[in-house]
């Protein structure tokens, strides 16, 4: 008899929806998903999914619909502050040649819609508008989730897939752990721009970095996702949430002036193009980037945190969704080891996942630091360093923006679990 007959999943983001599909399909477990929002979230811009994550989306059966909605152009181009091209990097074609999978940039809504459609087509129940208020766990029998509408549900195992501010973590698994501000904030939007621009294009200014990237390769529906990443101090208020809300209002109200001020530094036709792109933005999203400290607890006897709920990292390596997918695939394999006690499986899950997660989290923090404010000398040194770096890349293609090729070739299904 299987040790796990029923799983409750809290959160219908990428982690929760992927877990629902995998556990029902591969582990033959009955799954129910509970989501806080009234409907699938339409927040967020476009996200990058590298080969290690794209491969898993294919195994979930959603790669084909995503290919129609996303962009797979491989190159990353860095422009100098004068608007000239400092260099162009394409490490993705090599990875694609080895794995069959490259890189995808896609609107977050497209990925959520594709996963949710598949979950619903598989008959997995997803309950929206469910706010978790209590977790009651009995190591011997099961875990019971109680929601604010008075309903409750019990399962053998609960997956907390409820993001960086996870209620499963705060109410039960690790109430002491709080997200910390990275020092970096992001402003972004998606705008329709008829252009044949391909790949990611980034420019580092003295006040932060500006990047633009197509969200789709479909020329008729060409939209560009642009984002500004810069250092902003945490509000000096007793209640940080109130402070950020006040700051967000100011940023959103004054975004055109802020952007024009930053883009004015960038010269040439590239500067004019960026000016044109951001002038088409009617509104923007503003996110202070938070992350979770590494010391957190990931599981109890019958509850385990997956994805951002366990290990939210800064977005500057584009691995957040892929780390959530890898978590799901590993957990699914471990839950098939029916002779091992459940808690041993959860312990092994954490032992295997932690080193990889911590490595990406530290790469992301380093990359984020490139967007801190710089004086003229620091700007010149940085641009010279990048130019030299692109030159070195021509000599040795192994060196790659803090990205190691083996990290993207990694296949979680090949990791030894015996």
Ligand X SMILES: Cc1cc2nc3c(=O)[nH]c(=O)nc-3n(C[C@H](O)[C@H](O)[C@H](O)COP(=O)(O)OP(=O)(O)OC[C@H]3O[C@@H](n4cnc5c(N)ncnc54)[C@H](O)[C@@H]3O)c2cc1C
CB of 81 or CB of 110, closer to ligand X: 110
Residue 216 C-beta: closest distance to ligand X, Å: 15
CB of 161 or CB of 345, closer to ligand X: 161
- Report CA torsion sign: 173, 174, 175, 178: negative
Residue 223 C-beta: closest distance to ligand X, Å: 16
Residue 15 C-beta: closest distance to ligand X, Å: 3
Residue 192 C-beta: closest distance to ligand X, Å: 20
Residue 218 C-beta: closest distance to ligand X, Å: 20
Residue 233 C-beta: closest distance to ligand X, Å: 18
CB of 9 or CB of 335, closer to ligand X: 9
CB of 81 or CB of 212, closer to ligand X: 212
The rounded distance, in Å, linking the Cα atoms of 130 and 337 is 32
CB of 43 or CB of 380, closer to ligand X: 43
Give the binding site for ligand X (CB under 6 A): 10-16, 34-37, 41, 47-49, 130-132, 161-163, 167, 186, 287, 289, 307-309, 315, 318-322, 324
CA 103 from chain center: how many Å? 14
Q: To 5 degrees, how large is the angle CA 99–CA 20–CA 317?
A: 45
Residue 17 bridge partners (DSSP)? none
CB of 81 or CB of 143, closer to ligand X: 143
- Report CA torsion sign: 322, 160, 347, 311: positive
The rounded distance, in Å, linking the Cα atoms of 412 and 52 is 8
CB of 90 or CB of 327, closer to ligand X: 327
Residue whose C-alpha is closest to residue 385's, from 83, 76, 78 = 78
Residue 341 C-beta: closest distance to ligand X, Å: 26
CB of 142 or CB of 179, closer to ligand X: 179
Residue 21 C-beta: closest distance to ligand X, Å: 13
The rounded distance, in Å, linking the Cα atoms of 332 and 351 is 15
Residue 315 C-beta: closest distance to ligand X, Å: 3
CB of 3 or CB of 372, closer to ligand X: 372
């Amino acid at each position: 008899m299987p040790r796990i007959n029923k799983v409750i999943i809290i959160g219908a983001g990428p982690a929760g929806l992927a877990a629902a599909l995998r556990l029902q399909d591969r582990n033959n477990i009955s799954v129910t998903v509970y989501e806080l929002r009234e409907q699938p979230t339409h927040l967020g811009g476009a996200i990058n999914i590298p080969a290690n994550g794209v491969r898993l989306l294919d195994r979930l059966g959603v790669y084909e619909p995503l290919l129609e909605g996303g962009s797979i152009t491989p190159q990353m181009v860095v422009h100098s502050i004068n608007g000239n091209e400092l260099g162009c990097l394409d490490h993705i074609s090599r990875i694609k040649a080895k794995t069959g999978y490259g890189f995808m940039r896609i609107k977050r809504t497209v990925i959520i819609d594709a996963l949710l459609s598949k979950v619903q087509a598989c008959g997995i129940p997803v309950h929206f508008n469910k706010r978790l208020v209590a977790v009651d766990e009995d190591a011997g029998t099961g875990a019971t989730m109680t929601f604010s509408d008075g309903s409750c549900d019990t399962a053998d195992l609960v997956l907390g897939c409820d993001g960086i501010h996870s209620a499963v973590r705060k109410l039960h698994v690790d109430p002491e752990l709080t997200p910390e501000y990275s020092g970096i904030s992001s402003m972004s939007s998606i705008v329709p721009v008829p252009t044949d621009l391909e790949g990611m294009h980034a420019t580092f200014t003295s006040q932060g970095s500006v990047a633009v990237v197509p969200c789709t390769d479909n020329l008729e529906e060409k939209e560009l996702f642009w984002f500004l990443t810069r250092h902003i101090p945490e509000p000096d208020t007793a209640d940080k949430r109130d402070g950020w809300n006040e700051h967000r209002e100011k940023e959103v109200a004054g975004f055109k002036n802020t952007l024009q001020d930053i883009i004015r530094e960038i010269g040439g036709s590239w500067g004019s193009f960026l000016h044109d792109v951001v002038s088409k933005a009617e509104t923007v999203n503003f996110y202070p980037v938070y992350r979770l400290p590494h010391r957190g607890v990931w599981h109890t006897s019958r509850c385990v945190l997956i994805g951002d709920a366990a290990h939210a990292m800064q977005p500057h390596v584009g691995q957040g969704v892929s780390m959530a997918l890898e978590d799901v695939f590993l957990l699914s394999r471990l839950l098939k080891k029916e002779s091992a006690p459940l808690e041993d499986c959860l312990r092994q899950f954490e032992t295997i996942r932690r080193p990889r997660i911590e490595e990406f989290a530290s790469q992301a923090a380093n990359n984020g630091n490139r967007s801190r404010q710089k004086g003229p000398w620091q700007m010149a040194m940085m641009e010279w360093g990048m130019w030299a770096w692109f030159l070195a890349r021509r000599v040795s293609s192994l060196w790659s923006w803090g990205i190691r090729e083996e990290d993207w070739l990694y296949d979680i299904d090949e990791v030894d679990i015996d």
